[in-house]
């Protein structure tokens, strides 16, 4: 447990963390799908990303253990991500801070929820992107 400041600052900090998490997850999905579609092997992409400036806990510890192995069981559900993004976007409006990437992420996660993935892990965002690109990314 970390002390974040006066009453309410902990909630703000959590929303900021979850906003950034959603944006990073979306970027990972798009980037990996683009790379594989353009001819890079998933293994090579992962090797480079694990060592490069785009390295993130989400890729190192989560994507490679969940969706890239076909596991959609919720660690953090699409439903919860949608709720958190809604709250972050509301806070952005209240504070007059534009959250362009957050708004785009909310639309994408909302579409995923509408496709019936509300109870699935948020990394299932990869699935419709794979389908639209005509590729499948899995670690064997």
Which residue is it, tokens 């639209």? 132
Which residue is it, tokens 């579609």? 37
- pLDDT recorded at residue 129: 94
Q: How far apart are CA 128 and CA 29, in angstroms?
A: 10
Q: Report the chain's terminal Cα–Cα distance, integer Å.
A: 37
Convert the pLDDT of each residue in 21-40 to its tens digit: 999 999 999 999 999 999 99
CATH code, 9-133: 1.10.1040.10
Answer yes or no: is pLDDT of 6 > 80. yes
Q: What is the DSSP string of 84-129?
A: HHHHHHHHHHHTT---HHHHHHHHHHHHHIIIIITTSBGGGGHHHH
Q: By C-alpha distance, which of 80, 94, 109, 96 is closest to 8?
A: 94
Q: pTM score, two decimals?
A: 0.91
Q: How far apart are CA 101 and CA 56, in angstroms?
A: 18
Spell out the alpha helix ranges (H) of 38-77. 42-51, 57
- pLDDT recorded at residue 54: 92
Convert the pLDDT of each residue in 77-124 to its tens digit: 999 999 999 999 999 999 999 999 999 999 999 999 999 999 999 999
- pLDDT recorded at residue 3: 84
- pLDDT recorded at residue 2: 82
Residues identified as active-site? 14
Q: Give the start-to-end residue ranges of the domains of the chain.
A: 9-133
Convert the pLDDT of each residue in 35-68 to its tens digit: 999 999 999 999 999 999 999 999 988 888 888 9
Answer yes or no: is pLDDT of 140 > 80. no
């Amino acid at each position: 447990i970390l002390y974040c400041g006066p009453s309410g600052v902990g909630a703000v900090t959590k929303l900021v963390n979850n906003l950034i998490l959603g944006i990073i997850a979306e970027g990972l999905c798009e980037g990996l799908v683009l790379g594989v579609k353009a001819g890079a092997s998933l293994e090579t992409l992962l090797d480079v990303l694990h060592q490069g400036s785009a390295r993130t806990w989400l890729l190192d510890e989560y994507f490679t253990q969940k969706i890239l192995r076909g596991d959609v069981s919720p660690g953090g559900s699409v439903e919860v991500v949608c709720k958190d993004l809604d709250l972050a976007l509301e806070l952005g409006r209240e504070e007059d801070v534009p959250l362009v990437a957050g708004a785009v992420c909310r639309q994408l996660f909302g579409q995923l929820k509408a496709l019936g993935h509300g109870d699935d892990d948020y990394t299932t965002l990869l699935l419709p992107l794979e389908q639209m690109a005509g590729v499948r990314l899995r670690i064997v």
